[in-house]
Copies of this chain bind each other. A is one copy, B any other.
C-alpha cells in the first residue's frame, strides 16, 4: 500500500477529476433525504477532515455505509473534485467505501462525537489522540520538538544524550526515583544490616536523573555548543497543573559564553519555535484560538515581536516594593520570588517577557557563577505573560577555587564532584546554559492549562496508567 495523507489531498497536491483513495476514521456521518451520505473522514495528518459523498447506489450502502459511526475506519475511493461548499477546497465523490473496522457497541464508545471533559479524556489517554483537541496538541507538540532540533542544529549545536540512570545524587536524592533490580521481598543486607546496593544491577544505588546539565557540561567543554533533549524525572508529590513526575527538558549549553549569551539564545529559540507553530500549524492554532484560549495567537505574536526585558533581581525587588500592590508573600531583597511576583512583572508591569537575572547566591545552586559583588550569581529566569517561569539558566562557575568554596558553603563534599571539578582543572572556559521544560512550552503555545494534557501518558503521584 502507498497511503495518501489527507493533509496532502486538502493542500491540492492531487489532480481533480481523477480517482483517488484515502484511508481514515469517520468523524461524522450525515445522511440526506435524497439518499446520499456525507462522511467526514480524518487521518490525523491535519486538523481537518475530508468530506466523502457516498451515493446510495453503492452495493454496500445499506449493509455498511449506513452503519458507519464515529471512529470506524474506512478506505474510500472516488473522484476528487473541487468542493462547491464553504470551508473545504476539495471533496471526494465516492465510488467505493470499504470498512476496515467498525466500532464495537457505538453507544458506549468513549470517543463518540460530542464534547468531552478534559478530565475524562485524561482517563482515556489511549483514545484521546482521536479527538480534535488530542490531535491538535500532538501535532503542535511535534512541531515544537522538530523546530527545537532544527533551530539548534542550524546554529551548530550537537544533541547529546545524557544518561537517565545516574549513580550520583548530587542534585537532591529526596526528589529522585530509585532504579533497582533487587528483589524487594528479599533484599540483600550488608554486615551492618543495611540494604546492600553492591548486589544491585549497577553495583550501587542508582536514581533517575533530575537534569542532564552537569553531564552535558562535560560535552560543552569539548564540543562548545551542545544540548540535551530528553526525559527528566522528579519524585515530588506536586499535584499541580505545572508539574509532572516525568517530563521532557531541553538544555542547551554554550562554551565561551556568559549569562547574556544564554539569554540571547533562549530568546531567539523561543521566538523561532513559536513562529514555527504559527506558520506550520495554522489549522491547529485556529482551533486552540477558538476553543481553548481566545488570546493564544495574539500572545504568541506578542512574544515573537517583543524584545525581552533584561532586569536584575535587585531592580525587580525595587519595582515590587514600590508598586503599591499588596502581595500575599512580602518582598524584600534576598527572598525567592513567588508566582504572584513573577506574574506581576511579566503581565502588569512590563506586559511582555522578562529575563530576570543576577539573583542572590543563597537562593541558587552551587554551580552558578558568583558575580563580582560577591552577593549575587549569574542566574536567570525567563518569565512570560500567561505562564510565569518558562526557562531557568545560568552562567556556570568555571573557577575551581570559587566552585570549591561554594560547595563548602553549601555543605557539599568536593569528592562527590570530582569529574565535574576536572572540567575546571583542565582547560576551563566560561560557559552558560539553560533549561526549558518542554511540556510547559507546549502548554504555553497551545493555551492548554495543564501539562497533563500536552504529554501522551502523564505520570503524576498515584498515576502511571497505560
Residues of A within 8 A of B (CB): 1-3, 5, 7-8, 23-26, 43-45, 71-73, 75, 100-104, 109, 111, 125-127, 129-130, 134-135, 138-139, 141-142, 145-146, 149-150, 153, 156, 158-168, 177-182, 184-185, 187, 194-195, 201-204, 206, 208, 215, 218-219, 221-225, 230-231, 233, 235, 237, 245-246, 248, 254-258, 261, 398, 419-420, 422-430, 455-457, 459, 461-466
Contact = CB atoms under 8 A, between A and B. Distances in A.
Nearest to A430: B100
Contacts of A129: 218-219, 222-223
Contact of A161 (B134, B231, B464): B231
Contact of A429 (B23, B168, B181, B256): B23
Contacts of A218: 125-127, 129, 456, 466
Interface centre among A141, A159, A206, A457 (most CB of B within 10 A): A457
A180 B177 contact: yes
Contacts of A184: 178, 180, 182, 184, 187, 195
Given A7-B156, A261-B1, A459-B202, A181 B179 contact: no
A222 B109 contact: no
Contact of A142 (B159, B162, B180, B429): B159
Contacts of A3: 224, 254-257, 261
Contacts of A127: 218, 222, 422, 426
Contacts of A146: 149, 153, 159
Given A202-B463, A223-B138, A456-B160, A71 B427 contact: yes
Contacts of A256: 1, 3, 23, 75, 100
A1 B150 CA distance: 23
A322 to B, nearest CB: 34
25 contacts: A1-B257, A1-B258, A3-B257, A3-B261, A25-B222, A72-B427, A73-B428, A100-B430, A102-B427, A103-B426, A126-B419, A127-B218, A130-B221, A130-B222, A138-B158, A138-B219, A141-B161, A145-B159, A161-B455, A164-B233, A166-B466, A179-B208, A203-B461, A203-B464, A219-B456
B464 A202 contact: yes
Contacts of A168: 466
A153 to B, nearest CB: 5
Nearest to A455: B161
A136 B73 CA distance: 47
Contacts of A463: 202-203
Contacts of A465: 167
A464 B206 contact: yes
A178 B205 CA distance: 12
A5 B427 contact: no
A219 B137 CA distance: 12
Contacts of A104: 425-426
A364 to B, nearest CB: 22
